[in-house]
Every structure is written in structure tokens, then in C-alpha cells.
Amino acid sequence: PSRQRITVLGATGSIGVSTLDVVARHPQHFEVFALSAHRNIDLLFEQCMRFAPRFAALELPAAAAELRTRLADAGSRTEVLEGPQALIDVAAAPETDTVMAAIVGAAGLPPTLAAAQAGKRILLANKEALVLSGALFMDAVRASGAVLLPIDSEHNAVFQALPERFERNPAASGVRRILLTASGGPFRDTAPAELEAVTPEQACAHPNWVMGRKISVDSATMMNKGLEVIEAHWLFGAPAEQIEVVVHPQSVIHSMVEYVDGSVLAQLGNPDMRTPIAHALGWPARIEAGVRSLDLFEIARLTFERPDFERFPCLALAYQALREGGAAPAVLNAANEEAVAAFLDRRLGFRRIAEVIAATLERVRALPVDSLDAILAADGRARQVAREEIRNRS
Ligand code: NDP
Ligand code: MG
């Protein structure tokens, strides 16, 4: 059988690096067609030398020029493309079969949507893209026959625990609830008053997972779980009422599906993103991920808690935005991206993140989201308002 030709968007990030680690274990199954990055030219250069992709894509012309020179000096035949269209082109190229969408944030939407419109096999890590564009994205997937495989560990677990016929007929599938597990992040037991003074370093020190900085802060506020509730809604066609969050500090159960007969199916594993990445890369086959066996004797105990919506208001805001629908999830996401960036820059306190999002949701309403341009306009408007709300609090 011919090899899957892969484009990795966000190759230099935490997910991108794990993806290439799995790909490198299976040279007989995969070849790298294109890699994209943003600022990390050193790592992208190394990856190009190692995987010899046909294309490397960078939005910024200065970064592209530097990479081009270095690759030429090293005798590489990888061609460097630049500008926002370059990312779209490598995601939708006829010569690529599979697109790993691993850019962080709304910046990943245009190329990921292009992959959906072009009917690719999409490995979706970039949850913000789906939160932002929900209906439009899923319509594009259905219209083109794209295959959408979730990389987010919770959604990958749910995907594995759902019956095959679910996609065609969610209502008749016998599913009662989707139970998304959450670690609770680094501040699960921190008293609300102490959250006032936490630093970016503390917020980025996740107890179980090593991830990029933005998603690490999202885990600390639990907005990550909120975005994942919205992501699950679009991926699995389930209403907000059918999606519940269960705090499970060990991060061993990655999520569960409950059926009407009372059966609950779970997927378990070590907290290593190479497991869901290998699952999606190999699907429907199973391939080696380089992950050690789960040591249940060492883990010994699995515990569960109710999420604390008062300590973690971001989770409640995400449910509220999902119920409200329309532009609300896009506004929630944009305000969150701005607030998290300000927190990481030490311009905004940790507890103000939720305030900025709530205030932005109040102020930005009833915008259309029926095209990519309309979504990007709503995203832009929400960012403008969020920046005002941030300035008022710094
Ligand atoms: P990282 O911050 O580690 O990596 C982000 C990647 O996106 C890098 O390759 C970065 O390039 C690139 N990038 C950043 N900004 C832009 C931009 N404006 N335009 C184009 N490319 C850009 O993030 P993660 O790998 O942790 O996360 C990626 C996505 O996967 C996120 O949506 C996250 O929510 C999701 N995810 C991550 C998990 C994890 O374990 N890390 C788990 C589940 C989901 P460069 O480095 O060159 O600047
Ligand atoms: Mg997750």
C-alpha cells in the first residue's frame, strides 16, 4: 500500500514534535509532505533536514528568508513558501492525504478549514479552530467527505468508546452521556484568594501533561475543559446537557461514554499525547506509539470529583457560550486568547482572565458566523473589546 503523505501544521510545537516522533517510527507508512511553523526557525530547520519534506511553510517573510538560506546552504531540496496563503496551500494540496492541525489558537483556522474543504484526513489538535467555526467547519467536513479524527486526548477517548454507527445516527445510538475527564490543573486545591497572585510559571507547571504555554494556562483556569465541551458538541453532535465534566486528578481515564443500559466505556492510558496521535495516524489500524504500558499497580487508585464552577468560572462561561450559540463561542475563544496572552505577559492577573471573558461576552453579541470572513470579523471585534477590558484591569 502507498504511504500516507502528511502535512504537519505547527510542526515545532508540543503536538507537532510528538507527531513527528510517531511518524519517524513508521517510515514504511508515512512520508512528510510539508511542515509549518511560526518563529522557531532552528527547530524547523532541523525537522526539514531530518524529514526532507517537499515544502516548509511560514507566514512571516523574514522567517521564510532565513530558513531558505539555511536550507540552501545545507543542500536541502525543501522549498520554503511564505505568507498566510502558504499555510492554506500546503494544507489543501492535492499531493497531501493527511493534515495534522496543531497550530495553537485562531491562527490555525484558515488552513484547517481549507483542509476540511479539500476533503483531507484531518487530525485535529487545534480545538480553538473548531470552537471558533463550529457549524461552518462541520458543514465543510460533511460536504467534502473529509475524515475528522480527534487528537485532543479526551475526544480521542470518546471517539474510541463510541459505537461506529454513532456518526450516522447519534440519536439512535443509545448514548446517554459523554463524560469528559479533567485533571483540575495545577490549582485544583488552591484557595481562591491565593489564585490572585499566581504567576505564569506556576500556571504552566501542569501536574500530568507537558504542553504549550497557552493550553497550560487554559488548563489552570479550566477554560481548556470549557473549550473541550464545545469541541465535543461539534465533533459528536451532542447537546450541552449530554456533556459532563468529571475531575479526575490522575489523568489515567481520558474520557468515558455512558450508554442507556448503564454501561460506561472508558479509554485509559499514560498521559502521553503520542497515544492519541498514533491512534489517529494509524486509524482504523493500531500502530506502535513508543509509549510504555500502563502500570495499574503503580497508579493503584483512580479518584473523581465534581468540578468547582465557582473556583473555575471559565468552565461556566464556556457552557454559557455553547448554550447561547451563534458568535458566543467565537467571542469566548478570542477574549480568552487575548486574556491568556496578557496574563503570560504579566499585564493581567490570573483571576482577571475570567472577568475579561465575561465582560467581552456581555458586550459583543449577535454577530453573524456563517462564513470564514464573518467569523474572522467576530473574532477581531471580540479581541478589540477584550483588549479594552484588559487595559481597564491592568
Ligand atoms: P505549542 O505552543 O507548543 O505549539 C504551537 C505551534 O503553532 C508551534 O508550531 C508554533 O510555531 C505554531 N504557531 C504559533 N502561533 C502561530 C501563528 N500565529 N501562525 C502559525 N503558526 C503558529 O502548542 P501545543 O502543541 O501545545 O498545542 C497546539 C494545539 O493543540 C493547541 O490548539 C492545543 O489546544 C492543542 N492541544 C495540545 C495538547 C498538548 O498536549 N500540547 C493536548 C490537546 C490539544 P513556533 O513554535 O515556530 O512559533
Ligand atoms: Mg485535552
For ligand 1, what atom is nearest to the CA of residue 209? 40
Residues of the chain with pLDDT under 50: none
Alpha helices in the chain (DSSP H): 14-24, 41-51, 61-73, 84-92, 109-117, 127-144, 153-161, 192-195, 200-204, 213-221, 223-236, 274-282, 296-299, 313-324, 328-344, 352-363, 372-393
- The pLDDT score that the predictor gives to residue 192 is 87
- Verify whether ligand 1 is closer than 6 Å to residue 150 (CB atom): no
Q: Are the C-beta atoms of residues 119 and 96 closer than 8 Å to each other?
A: no
Q: Is the CB of 309 under 6 A from ligand 1?
A: no
- Quote the pTM value: 0.97
**For residues 372 and 53, what is the distance between their CA atoms, to the nearest angstrom?**
29
Which one, of 65, 36, 38, 62, lies nearest residue 48 by Cα?
36
Distance 209 CA to ligand 2 centre (A): 10
Give me the pLDDT at residue 168, please.
63
ipTM at complex level:
0.99
What is the number of other CB atoms lying within 10 angstroms of the CB of residue 289? 23
Helix (H, G, I), strand (E, B) or coil at 9: strand
Q: Which residues are annotated as a binding site for 1-deoxy-D-xylulose 5-phosphate?
A: 127, 153-154, 183, 206, 219, 224-225, 228
Pairing of strands 98-101, 121-124: parallel
Dihedral over alpha carbons 65, 71, 77, 81 (to 10 degrees): -20
Cell numbers 455512558 label which residue?
258
pLDDT at 1: 63
CB 361 within 8 A of CB 331: yes
Ligand number with the minimum distance to the CA of 215: 1
Grid coordinates given for 69? 538560506
Report DSSP letters for 326-351, one per residue. Answer: TTHHHHHHHHHHHHHHHHHTTSS-TT
pLDDT at residue 2, rounded to an integer: 86
Share of the chain above pLDDT 90, in %: 93
What does pLDDT average to over the chain?
Answer: 96
Query: Residue 287 in 3-state DSSP?
Result: coil
Q: What distance in angstroms lies between residue 212's CA and the mean position of ligand 1's atoms?
A: 6
In this structure, which ligand is nearest to the CA of 38? 1
Instruction: Quote the cell numbers at residue 113.
Output: 478549514
C-alpha cell at 212: 504549550
Q: How confident is the model at residue 133, as a pLDDT?
A: 97
